[in-house]
């Protein structure tokens, strides 16, 4: 029997990218909503209850509404929005965190897919705290670069408009109240005690992220060098397919934030020396930062090879 899959929000940015990754799969039966009915609540209710797996690719309110429409206990949900990421009834979909996390994902009925910026911060921070290198009360700072598809259809339209505002040709610092919506999940998943000082930057390219932590080695347990931090992270992720650590280099070449666009890979690059360290997570906001991660999580939930359909 094929697994029935429904994408609520199928014509949005994340929904389309999920479709790209699973549309041709023979083990799945994709339930499609008629485009002109995509906001019809009764038609959505019917499809939401007819599927084995539902992807929610909607704004937060739409995702909450969709969950309230599900009456069938068999339906398993993967929510790409921020709505449920710190909800204790939901499993956080970052399998590389630990073996236990992957097992929780395998059994999840309600799965919250991580935020894109949160993915970048968590990939470096969570293992460093778990390994006792980064103190949980560290005053963490992070700046995170993203392509404009991170802002969904509306932002894509603005960046791709013919007579667009000239300011869009330069990097845009945003979230300047320092209250980005991913802070709660960043803290909940890593165990950080204080809110990180987190500054996102959007720029004039479609896909790709580079999220960078800046660390003072003297404030880390055991005062490791950057090379040692790199080695410990490489050990932590040594068995992973999608999360890798680049071998340490004293002076890496320029990092371009779109380097892993189109893939589900996330690469950690560690640089610096005896006194200071940076850790950059390089990935695709629509890959490991959203749709790729959602498909990886579905594969795990179905007990399949988690790389199925993913580059």
Ligand X SMILES: CC(=O)N[C@@H](CCC(=O)OP(=O)(O)O)C(=O)O
Ligand Y SMILES: NC(=O)C1=CN([C@@H]2O[C@H](COP(=O)(O)OP(=O)(O)OC[C@H]3O[C@@H](n4cnc5c(N)ncnc54)[C@H](OP(=O)(O)O)[C@@H]3O)[C@@H](O)[C@H]2O)C=CC1
50, 71, 239 from 64: Cα distances, Å: 18, 14, 35
Q: Mask: binding to ligand Y, 63-102, rule CB under 6 A, as x and -?
A: --x--------------xx---------------------
Q: Mask: binding to ligand Y, 161-180, rule CB under 6 A, as x and -?
A: --------------------
Cβ neighbours, 10 Å, residue 72: 11
Residue 286 binds: one of ligand Y, ligand X, none (C-beta under 5 to 8 A by kind): ligand Y
By beta-carbon distance, which residue lies closest to ligand Y? 12
Cβ neighbours, 10 Å, residue 286: 28
Q: Annotated active-site positions, please?
A: 116
Q: Which is nearer to ligand Y, 9 or 93 (CB)?
A: 9
Residue 3 in contact with ligand Y, rule: CB under 6 A: no
Min. distance of Cβ 85 from ligand Y in angstroms?
A: 10
Q: Which of 285, 311, 283 is closest to 296 using CA atoms?
A: 311
With CB under 6 A as the contact rule, the residue among 4, 20, 25, 38 that binds ligand Y is 38
Question: Which tokens in the block code for residue 292?
Answer: 């790729």
Residue 290 in contact with ligand Y, rule: CB under 6 A: yes
Residue 13 binds: one of ligand X, ligand Y, none (C-beta under 5 to 8 A by kind): ligand Y
Q: Which is nearer to ligand X, 43 or 60 (CB)?
A: 60
Find out whether 268 and 279 touch, Cβ atoms under 8 Å.
yes
112/116 Cα distance (integer angstroms): 12
Q: Which is nearer to ligand Y, 13 or 280 (CB)?
A: 13
Interacting residue ranges for ligand X, rule: CB under 6 A: 81-82, 115-117, 146, 150-151, 181-182, 200, 202
Q: Which is nearer to ligand X, 23 or 151 (CB)?
A: 151
By beta-carbon distance, which residue lies closest to ligand X? 150
Order of all β-strands in the sheet with 243-245: 172-173, 197-203, 141-147, 209-216, 276-283, 266-272, 243-245
Q: Which is nearer to ligand X, 211 or 263 (CB)?
A: 211
With CB under 6 A as the contact rule, the residue among 47, 97, 108, 116 that binds ligand Y is 116
Residue 39 in contact with ligand Y, rule: CB under 6 A: yes
With CB under 6 A as the contact rule, the residue among 12, 120, 127, 292 that binds ligand Y is 12
Residue 12 binds: one of ligand Y, ligand X, none (C-beta under 5 to 8 A by kind): ligand Y
Residue 296 in contact with ligand Y, rule: CB under 6 A: no
Stretch that binds ligand Y, among 5-13, 122-130, 189-197, 253-261 (CB under 6 A): 5-13
- State the residues that interact with ligand Y by CB under 6 A: 9, 11-15, 38-39, 57-60, 62, 65, 80-81, 115-116, 149-150, 152-153, 285-286, 289-290
């Amino acid at each position: 029997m094929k697994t029935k899959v429904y994408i609520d929000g199928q014509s949005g940015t994340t929904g389309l990218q999920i479709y790209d990754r699973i549309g041709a799969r023979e083990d799945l039966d994709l339930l499609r909503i008629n485009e002109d009915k995509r906001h019809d609540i009764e038609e959505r209710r019917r499809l939401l209850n007819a599927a084995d797996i539902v992807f929610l690719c909607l704004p937060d309110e739409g995702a909450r509404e969709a969950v309230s429409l599900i009456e069938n206990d068999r339906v398993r949900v993967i929510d790409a929005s921020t709505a449920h990421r710190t909800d204790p009834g939901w499993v956080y979909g970052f399998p590389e965190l630990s073996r236990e996390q992957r097992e929780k994902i395998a059994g999840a009925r309600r799965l919250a897919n991580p935020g894109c910026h949160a993915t970048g911060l968590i990939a470096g921070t969570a293992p460093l705290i778990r390994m006792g290198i980064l103190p949980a009360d560290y005053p963490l700072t992070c700046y995170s670069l993203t392509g404009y598809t991170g802002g969904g259809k509306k932002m894509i339209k603005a960046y791709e408009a013919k007579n667009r505002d000239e300011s869009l040709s330069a990097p845009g610092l945003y979230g300047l109240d320092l209250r980005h919506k991913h802070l709660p999940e960043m803290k909940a998943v890593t165990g950080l005690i204080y809110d990180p000082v987190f500054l996102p930057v959007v720029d004039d390219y479609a896909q790709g992220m580079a999220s960078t932590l800046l660390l003072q080695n003297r404030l880390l347990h055991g005062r490791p060098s950057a090379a040692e931090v790199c080695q410990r992270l490489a050990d932590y992720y040594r068995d992973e397919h999608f999360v890798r650590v680049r071998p340490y280099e004293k002076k890496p070449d320029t990092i371009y934030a779109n380097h892993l666009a189109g893939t589900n890979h996330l690469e950690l690059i560690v640089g610096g020396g005896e006194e200071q360290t940076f850790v950059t997570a390089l990935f695709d906001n629509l890959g490991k930062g959203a749709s790729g991660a959602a498909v990886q999580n579905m594969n795990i939930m179905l007990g399949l090879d988690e790389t199925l359909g993913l580059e």
